[in-house]
């Protein structure tokens, strides 16, 4: 029997595939290819509105929700849940079979995430969709407070928007401390948003902020990811690292061999890897080249990400790469809110 690339990765390594922001058809294909779980983010509904295969269904959901909810922010959150609901159902059989897979993540209104009670309320509402819904919560001061509470409620969590070692260590320490206190240990994933981090540094280079060889810059995100992975393993944190924010195929292939999960888009990433069908090669344990680290440490943002004491908790939310990532979420949510306003006007005519 001929196995596809991701099936061979699963057979030959502990690395696992999650699929990010898929259409319903892409989710079906990803499941067939070996994906075990699914991530979405606050741009999900906006992206589905731009997909011909999804648009009419999303508009039907929008019209139904707007007829019952007057407040656009509340309506947007409910619309997102209903748009994601088919994914929850598609992945549920995996969750029923093994409650360590079959997750579908939901992350709420990015404009409301500076208040931890908003995160908690949104998470509990999201979880009403099903037991395989996993909360996706940013590692910021507010997010850490929400995470601490939700661990006590035994809610599975993805700690997201992690760009720096300091963020990863802070949330892992919180998880271990809280689990011991409440005597509960829900599934817990700690991201490293490798590709977005690389994209942010690339943009700075394009602006002339520093001059560094492209070959070295290409390694920046994976270098931080490898350090984070080793720290998590050496300190025995009982969490799973989840690579995310991929912007190149190497943001998956460079993590193969690690006891990590990686979420990538179907189009341009998972689909391309299936087509290329490369050999399964262990790369996560590749030594971090000292010459590359020395060069990259001249970039302030890399230094803040790479050094364990590079940031304090109060700086997490405004760290450049994190803010860059959040900007994209806010743009997607703003697009959705704008669509709701226009849809209400149409309904009033």
DSSP H/E element including 185 = none
- Above 90 in pLDDT, residue 196? yes
Task: Determine the pLDDT at residue 244.
Answer: 96
Task: Determine the pLDDT at residue 296.
Answer: 97
Rounded to 10°, the helix 72-97/320-348 angle is 110
- 200-257 pLDDT, tens per residue? 999 999 999 988 999 999 999 999 999 999 999 999 999 999 999 999 999 999 999 9
Separation CA 261–CA 238 (nearest Å): 14
Work out how many domains the chain is built from and give that number: 1
DSSP 124-140: HHHHTT-TTEEEEEESS
Residue 119 lies in domain: 5-348
- 126-176 pLDDT, tens per residue? 999 999 999 999 999 999 999 999 999 999 999 999 999 999 999 999 999
- 287-338 pLDDT, tens per residue? 999 999 999 999 999 999 999 999 999 999 999 999 999 999 999 999 999 9
- CATH code of the domain covering residue 338: 3.20.20.70
């Amino acid at each position: 029997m001929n196995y596809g690339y991701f099936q061979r990765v699963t057979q030959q390594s502990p690395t696992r595939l999650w699929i990010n922001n898929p259409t319903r058809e892409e989710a079906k294909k990803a499941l067939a290819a070996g994906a075990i779980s699914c991530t979405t983010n606050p741009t999900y509904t906006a992206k589905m509105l731009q997909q011909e295969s999804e648009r009419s269904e999303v508009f039907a959901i929008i019209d139904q929700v707007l007829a019952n909810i007057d407040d656009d922010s509340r309506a947007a959150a409910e619309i997102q849940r209903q748009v994601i609901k088919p994914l929850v159902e598609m992945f549920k059989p995996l969750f029923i079979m093994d409650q360590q897979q079959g997750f579908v993540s939901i992350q709420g209104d990015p404009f409301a995430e500076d208040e931890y009670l908003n995160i908690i309320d949104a998470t509990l509402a999201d979880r009403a969709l099903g037991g395989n819904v996993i909360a996706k919560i940013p590692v910021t001061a507010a997010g850490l407070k929400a995470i601490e509470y939700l661990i006590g409620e035994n809610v599975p969590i993805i700690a997201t928007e992690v760009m720096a070692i300091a963020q990863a260590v802070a949330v892992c320490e919180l998880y271990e401390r809280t689990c011991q206190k409440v005597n509960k240990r829900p599934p817990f994933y700690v991201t490293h948003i490798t590709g977005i981090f690389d994209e942010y540094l690339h943009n700075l280079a394009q602006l002339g902020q520093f001059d560094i060889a492209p070959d070295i810059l290409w390694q920046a995100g994976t270098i931080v990811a490898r350090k984070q992975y080793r720290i998590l393993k050496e300190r025995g944190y009982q969490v799973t690292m989840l690579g995310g924010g991929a912007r190149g195929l190497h943001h998956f292939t460079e993590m193969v061999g690690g006891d990590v999960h990686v979420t990538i888009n179907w189009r341009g990433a998972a689909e391309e890897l299936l087509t290329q069908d490369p050999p399964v090669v262990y790369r996560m344990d590749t030594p971090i080249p000292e010459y590359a680290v020395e060069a990259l440490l001249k970039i302030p943002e890399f230094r803040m990400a790479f050094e364990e004491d590079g940031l304090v908790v109060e700086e997490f939310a405004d760290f450049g790469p994190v803010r860059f990532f959040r900007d994209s979420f806010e743009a997607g949510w703003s697009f959705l809110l704008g669509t709701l306003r226009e849809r209400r006007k149409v309904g009033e005519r």
